Amino acid sequence: MTEVLRVERKHSVCSERWALDPLWSRGPNAVPKRWLGAFSVKIHMETIEAYLERKHEELRLLNVCLRRPLALSYPRSVMEVIERKFQLTAALRAEHELHDWTVTETAWSPARQRGTGPFEFRYDYQRADLEVRGPSFYELDDEMTPEAVYTASGMAAISALLFASAHVMRRADILVLPGSYGETLEFIARYAPHLRLITLKSSLGEAIAATGSPRIILLDSSAPAANFEAALSGSGPALDLVIFDTTCFSNGSGRIRRALRWARKWNIPAVMVRSHTKLDSLGAEYGRLGSAVFVHWATNDPWESRPQLRTLPAETRNAVRLFGGAPLPAHFPPYVGTSSYRMLTNKRMAAILRNCRRAGRYFASSLAGLTAELHFAHGLYVTLDSSIPLSEATARRAAAAMSQDMKREGFPIRHAGSFGFDFAATEWFHNATNNQYSVRVTVPDLPATIWDDLTRAVADWWRMHQLSCAHREQRVGNVRRSDCSRSESWPTVERELEIRRDNIVPTIKKESLGRRGSDGNGSYDRPRQCGLPDEQR
């Protein structure tokens, strides 16, 4: 076991941590004691050197898409990787604008755009009749044929689809998983009066038996894992349509294929909606892009057995046209579709999933009672709860303060409202099912040693601020709401220093974060902290 989890000391930026933290057994090769026996398979821990090599391949993939590729040197730090990636994607977009200056909304010039990377476009007026030909973002089985309707975002795709469903179903019940994406539920409640929203609180079979209208099930990749698995373990012969939001799953995820096979088993037509901005552009947010993909099968296609639904793809295209939800050709990543892209995307996602599992186990132990949800179906982020109820405003300020403090310590973390980046991100999170707010921590594909340090620092920060809020609540006395839940800002570093001077709560010391460098300063931005041999620094 220790051989499997071995981290070479020359590749570790925090080998001293193993001796400092009683949570870990002694030695740089040790395993957390509470994890022993929890693993039945071998676990791969990526070294920093291997991480930088993988990121170098990602940068090369972006670079070769330029008409005049840049001279790329080997990256020497996490922040250098992040900056170069965003710079390269910006260069790709700028090159597109400069080279294809005749490409505008209307096809007025005979020198029409041939395409972007593997994608080809045809149109007279982009908003109304844009046709896209190119590789699928998904890795599907050979017997599946995708019919894609591209949109300007994931929300544009699902809102157009749900609105279009009114033309094929006058009334319908839409069954949703607890914890589904809040804006989707908001759209259904406010702009889809033909759909009756039913949250699955019991088994799928019981929910179906209680309805008499046509039935749609919305499978959402952002739901907790238990809810997603419970839906796929049920029977669905009485369902009329499966809408599957795959945004939070990797485009090559086995769960996507499993859900599609489940739908086919019960002869249910399936359509996938997705935002391609987050997980399909190597963490660089290349452009705002989404799609609704109608899945057809080579034999016994469920769409053929539902004649009333055959016009749904056409009605969805009409809704995209009339709502102005068509995508921009410049927002299609030119590096999609190659074997290198598939391989690098799969490696990124595997690293993110490993890190999320590690963080979930650590938070469950070190932040008992202060976590909201640690086991989402996607494995991309976790949410932290507070001992005092949070509002949207206080959760946002807590997320901002956390990321700012961790950034000052040299960690690759930012306050950002999305996921799938090469850095960790914090933001407020709203659970639409129970109407509670928490703080979301999204997981990057960092090397395990750096991610472990960051996980510990987040736990220390969150625990300290809970103590701060509890003390301030006690000082206020018998009031309905504490300072931490009012509209005032979340405790800042300056306010924490005032509290610390009164010896009220302990502060986070550098030793508790792990010694990340001999100079004691922010470490992960520095080449010397990357564990590279001298000749590669």
CATH of residue 220's domain is 3.40.640.10
Single out the residue in 331, 356, 378 at which a domain terminates: 331
Average pLDDT over residues 415-428: 96
Whether residue 261 sits in one domain with residue 187: yes
Paired with 133 in beta bridges are: 120
Average pLDDT over residues 66-78: 94
State yes or no: pLDDT of 180 exceeds 70: yes
In a domain, 517, yes or no: yes
What residues contact 69, with CB distance under 8 A and at least 6 apart? 63
pLDDT confidence band for 371 (50 / 70 / 90):
very high
Dist CA 473 CA 256 (whole Å): 46
What residues contact 288, with CB distance under 8 A and at least 6 apart? 152, 153, 277, 327, 328, 331
Whether residue 235 sits in one domain with residue 286: yes
Average pLDDT over residues 1-26: 32
CB hemisphere CA count around 290 (13 angstroms): 23
CA 462 to chain centre: 22
Dist CA 152 CA 156 (whole Å): 6
Average pLDDT over residues 46-74: 95
In a domain, 21, yes or no: no
Q: Find the range with the poorest average confidence among 70-84, 229-243, 391-405.
A: 229-243
Dist CA 90 CA 330 (whole Å): 11
Single out the residue in 278, 302, 331 at which a domain terminates: 331
For 440-475, letters b (16+ CB in 10 Å) and e give bbbbbbbbbbbbbbbbbbbbbbbbbbbebbbebbee
Whether residue 489 sits in one domain with residue 452: yes
Single out the residue in 331, 366, 393 at which a domain terminates: 331
In a domain, 462, yes or no: yes
Whether residue 352 sits in one domain with residue 317: no
In a domain, 150, yes or no: yes
Structurally, the chain folds into a number of domains equal to 2
Whether residue 380 sits in one domain with residue 319: no
Dist CA 300 CA 288 (whole Å): 35
* Highest mean pLDDT (candidates 106-120, 354-368, 501-515): 354-368
Whether residue 357 sits in one domain with residue 472: yes
State yes or no: pLDDT of 1 exceeds 90: no
Domain assignment of residue 519, given as a range:
346-536
Whether residue 350 sits in one domain with residue 324: no
Whether residue 367 sits in one domain with residue 313: no
- Count other C-beta atoms under 10 Å from residue 486's C-beta: 13
- Count other C-beta atoms under 10 Å from residue 148's C-beta: 19
Whether residue 364 sits in one domain with residue 230: no
Give the β-pairing of 413-415 and 424-431: parallel
In a domain, 134, yes or no: yes
Q: Is 147 helix (H, G, I), strand (E, B) or coil?
A: strand
State yes or no: pLDDT of 511 exceeds 90: no
| Axis crossing angle, helix 448-476 with helix 392-408, rounded to the nearest 10 | 130
In a domain, 90, yes or no: no
Residue 42, phi then psi, degrees to nearest 5:
-70, 145
In a domain, 479, yes or no: yes
pTM of the predicted protein model: 0.81
State yes or no: pLDDT of 345 exceeds 80: yes
Which pLDDT score, from 0 to 100, does residue 207 have? 64
In a domain, 57, yes or no: no
What residues contact 94, with CB distance under 8 A and at least 6 apart? none
Residue 295, phi then psi, degrees to nearest 5:
-95, 120
Which pLDDT score, from 0 to 100, does residue 363 have? 97
Whether residue 410 sits in one domain with residue 324: no
For 286-306, letters b (16+ CB in 10 Å) and e give bbbbbbbbbbbbeeebbbeeb
Whether residue 352 sits in one domain with residue 327: no
What residues contact 134, with CB distance under 8 A and at least 6 apart? 115, 117, 118, 119, 120, 332, 336, 337
The mean predicted confidence, pLDDT, of the chain is: 82
pLDDT confidence band for 103 (50 / 70 / 90):
confident
pLDDT confidence band for 284 (50 / 70 / 90):
very high
Dist CA 153 CA 278 (whole Å): 11
Dist CA 257 CA 345 (whole Å): 17
Whether residue 292 sits in one domain with residue 352: no
Q: Find the range with the poorest average confidence among 75-89, 118-132, 225-239.
A: 225-239
